[in-house]
């Protein structure tokens, strides 16, 4: 029992709660049955509802408390340990965050050593720097980045102490909560107790919780990016981000971090993609919904939609290894090329990424427009035929104008897809930020820069890393705006004919 109360692991606690809940189920049900004299018809609810009531009152508050505790404890411990580290203990060129990660690693290393039985708990608390800690820990399989300073060791000891205290507090509190729930539910279980209503209300509350997770996700997205973006703007002038002319991150500081060249690359590639996808997708949709017989439609439509189900990494590879080299063969290599010109040097270019992204968007445009064209009432077509128009005249002058708002919505949705697409541009567009009109040059986009600034070892205190969050927020706002506009247009149009 003592072990369960002091452990930092969550699993034993959760198992214990589950056991209590299961026990509660049978206890409460039995008590209710006894109170009804063994005749279930005298109960207010079915016997199992008394059991479920016990399960819910044991598990839900306890698990909720556990979840909140797991979120809050690291935060409190972290902030009080950070206060302990004196400013002069932070070496030149380092930051409190880096020191903190050392502290954490050291504390976890000591915990691991205690857990493995290499030293006793008391020995771990009495360690001093003189013991040549780094080598000593390395012998026991724990790697520490730098030599341990007295401040770090002190902070790590405090960190361990607070965490141990927190774990005991958490386990005791959660278990008491579960026991209290069990007791309460047991005492309530009486023939007259409205168990079903209680259980149903609790389930409904859980359903509402699940539904609001969507809002929580959005809030999480916005907040996580907003805080880091504010951090970024306190380190880097916002005028340079929005109105500067060049993108040249430099991890020694003094970088140019302007979104404009990236925005240009993003829009240029998206425009090429839409120039490929919109005509092909639209004509395919018109043919499938107006001309094709049921057999052609039943084969061609799913085949086209396969294109939408292929993962984007496949398109990325297709761009880098197939389309790019093919374009180089046409537009590059000087005399050896097909056109005998030397306009294109590498496989990555705006055209490469744009063409491949266009292929990816064809089914997207075609199935959305197909739905919209099908929603145009037959009476409009019949009226046009009655006046003597041919089928193509009907489509061009009656069906398309009637479907136009919906089609515009579909194109906007496709544009938002194109702007947010990552893998195709990461592999196919290149990494050079520039504003140029030549589609055969490599350019870079917002999404590729987010990937490159955030992968690898990033220091979350430098503007070169934080800029990724500002880029992400811009991307989020941009695509959100397009989506809201598109959904608004599509919805308004649907109401018109319903």
Q: How far is the CB of 36 from other proteins (least distance, A)?
A: 19
Binds other proteins (CB under 8 A): choice among 272, 419, 429, 433: 419
Q: Which is nearer to other proteins, 261 or 420 (CB)?
A: 420
Binds other proteins (CB under 8 A): choice among 20, 347, 395, 410: 395
Phi, psi of 257 (to 5 degrees): -125, 75
Q: How far is the CB of 80 from other proteins (least distance, A)?
A: 16
Binding status of residue 214 toward other proteins by CB under 8 A: yes
Binds other proteins (CB under 8 A): choice among 393, 404, 431, 492: 393
Structural contact between residues 273 and 358, judged by C-beta atoms closer than 8 angstroms: yes
Binding status of residue 316 toward other proteins by CB under 8 A: yes
Q: Which of 140, 161, 153 is nearest to 77 (CA)?
A: 161
Phi, psi of 387 (to 5 degrees): -85, 0
Alpha-carbon gap, residue 220 to 207, rounded angstroms: 20
Q: How far is the CB of 88 from other proteins (least distance, A)?
A: 26
Structural contact between residues 270 and 350, judged by C-beta atoms closer than 8 angstroms: no
For the segment 373-392, give every residue that binds other proteins (CB under 8 A): 390-392
Alpha-carbon gap, residue 272 to 440, rounded angstroms: 12
For the segment 341-360, give every residue that binds other proteins (CB under 8 A): 359
Binding status of residue 413 toward other proteins by CB under 8 A: yes
Region of residue 376 (left: phi > 0; alpha: psi -120 to 50; beta: else):
beta
Q: Which is nearer to other proteins, 293 or 437 (CB)?
A: 293
Phi, psi of 247 (to 5 degrees): -120, 105
Binding status of residue 280 toward other proteins by CB under 8 A: yes
Q: Which of 401, 8, 356, 340 is nearest to 166 (CA)?
A: 8
For the segment 183-212, give every residue that binds other proteins (CB under 8 A): 196, 200, 203-204, 206-212
Binds other proteins (CB under 8 A): choice among 63, 263, 274, 427: 427
How far is residue 257 CA from its own chain's centroid?
Answer: 24
Query: Near other proteins by CB under 8 A, which window of 153-161, 248-256, 309-317, 333-341?
Result: 309-317
Alpha-carbon gap, residue 255 to 294, rounded angstroms: 59
For the segment 74-133, give every residue that binds other proteins (CB under 8 A): 74, 104
Residue keyed to tokens 């761009």 = 319
Q: Which is nearer to other proteins, 85 or 277 (CB)?
A: 277
Q: Which is nearer to other proteins, 140 or 204 (CB)?
A: 204
What is the total count of residues that contact other proteins (CB under 8 A)? 89
**CB burial string 306-328: b at 16+ within 10 A, e below:** eeeeeebeebbbbbbeebbeebb
The 10 Å Cβ neighbour count of residue 257 is: 24
Q: Which is nearer to other proteins, 33 or 347 (CB)?
A: 347
Q: How far is the CB of 216 from other proteins (least distance, A)?
A: 9
Q: How far is the CB of 130 from other proteins (least distance, A)?
A: 30
Query: Near other proteins by CB under 8 A, which window of 120-128, 267-275, 334-342, 465-473?
Result: 465-473
How far is residue 441 CA from its own chain's centroid?
Answer: 32
Q: How far is the CB of 93 from other proteins (least distance, A)?
A: 21
Give alpha helix (H) positions in 236-349. Answer: 238-243, 260-286, 294-309, 312-318, 324-331
Q: How far is the CB of 470 from other proteins (least distance, A)?
A: 11
Q: How far is the CB of 179 from other proteins (least distance, A)?
A: 27
Binding status of residue 469 toward other proteins by CB under 8 A: yes
Task: Count the alpha carbons within 13 Å of 220 in the hemisphere toward its beta carbon.
Answer: 6
Q: Which is nearer to other proteins, 235 or 313 (CB)?
A: 313
Binding status of residue 421 toward other proteins by CB under 8 A: yes
Region of residue 205 (left: phi > 0; alpha: psi -120 to 50; beta: else):
alpha
Q: How far is the CB of 154 from other proteins (least distance, A)?
A: 21
- Binding letters toward other proteins, positions 220-249, x by CB under 8 A: xx--xx--x---------------------
Q: Which is nearer to other proteins, 136 or 476 (CB)?
A: 476
The per-residue DSSP string of 209-221 comes to HHHHHHHHHHHHH
Structural contact between residues 470 and 233, judged by C-beta atoms closer than 8 angstroms: yes
Binding status of residue 456 toward other proteins by CB under 8 A: yes
How far is residue 110 CA from its own chain's centroid?
Answer: 34
For the segment 142-171, give every residue that binds other proteins (CB under 8 A): none
């Amino acid at each position: 029992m003592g072990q369960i109360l002091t452990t930092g692991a969550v699993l034993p606690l959760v198992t214990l709660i589950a056991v209590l809940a299961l026990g509660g189920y049978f206890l409460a049900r039995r008590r209710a049955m006894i109170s009804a004299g063994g005749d279930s018809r005298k109960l207010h609810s079915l016997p199992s509802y008394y059991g479920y009531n016990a399960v819910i009152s044991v598990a839900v508050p306890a698990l909720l408390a556990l979840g909140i505790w797991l979120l809050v404890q690291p935060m409190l411990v972290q902030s009080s340990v950070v206060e302990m580290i004196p400013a002069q203990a932070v070496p030149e060129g380092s930051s409190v965050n880096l020191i903190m990660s050392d502290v954490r690693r050291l504390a976890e290393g000591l915990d691991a050593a205690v857990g493995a039985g290499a030293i006793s708990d008391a020995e771990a608390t009495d360690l001093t720097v003189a013991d040549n800690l780094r080598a000593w820990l390395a012998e026991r399989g724990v790697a520490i980045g730098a030599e341990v300073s007295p401040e770090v060791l002190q902070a790590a000891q405090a960190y361990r102490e607070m965490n141990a205290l927190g774990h005991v507090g958490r386990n005791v509190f959660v278990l008491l909560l579960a026991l209290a729930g069990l007791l309460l539910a047991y005492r309530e279980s009486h023939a007259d107790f409205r168990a079903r209503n209680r259980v149903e209300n609790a389930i409904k509350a859980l359903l509402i919780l699940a539904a609001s997770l969507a809002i929580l996700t959005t809030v999480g997205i916005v907040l996580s990016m907003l805080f880091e973006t504010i951090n970024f703007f306190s380190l880097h002038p916002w005028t340079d981000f929005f109105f500067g002319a060049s993108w040249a991150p430099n991890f020694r500081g003094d970088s140019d971090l302007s979104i404009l060249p990236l925005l240009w690359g993003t829009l240029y590639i998206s425009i090429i993609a839409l120039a490929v996808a919109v005509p092909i997708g639209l004509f395919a949709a018109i043919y499938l919904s107006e001309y094709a017989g049921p057999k052609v439609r039943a084969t061609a439509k799913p085949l086209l939609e396969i294109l939408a189900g292929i993962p984007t990494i496949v398109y990325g590879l297709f761009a880098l290894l197939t389309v790019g080299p093919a374009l180089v063969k046409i537009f590059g290599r000087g005399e050896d090329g097909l056109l005998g010109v030397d306009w294109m040097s590498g496989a990555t270019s705006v055209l490469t990424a744009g063409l491949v992204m266009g292929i990816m968007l064809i089914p997207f445009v075609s199935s959305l427009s197909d739905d919209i064209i099908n929603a145009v009432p037959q009476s409009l077509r019949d009226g046009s035929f009655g006046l003597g128009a041919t089928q193509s005249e009907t489509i061009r002058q009656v069906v398309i104008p009637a479907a136009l708002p919906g089609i515009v919505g579909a194109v906007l949705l496709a544009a938002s897809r194109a702007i947010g697409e990552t893998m195709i541009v990461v592999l196919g567009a290149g990494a050079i930020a520039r504003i140029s009109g030549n589609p055969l040059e490599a350019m870079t986009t917002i999404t590729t820069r987010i990937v490159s600034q955030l992968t690898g070892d990033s220091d979350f205190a430098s503007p070169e890393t934080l800029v990724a969050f500002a880029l992400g927020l811009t991307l989020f706002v941009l695509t959100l705006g397009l989506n809201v506009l598109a959904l608004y247009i599509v919805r308004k149009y649907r109401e018109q004919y319903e």
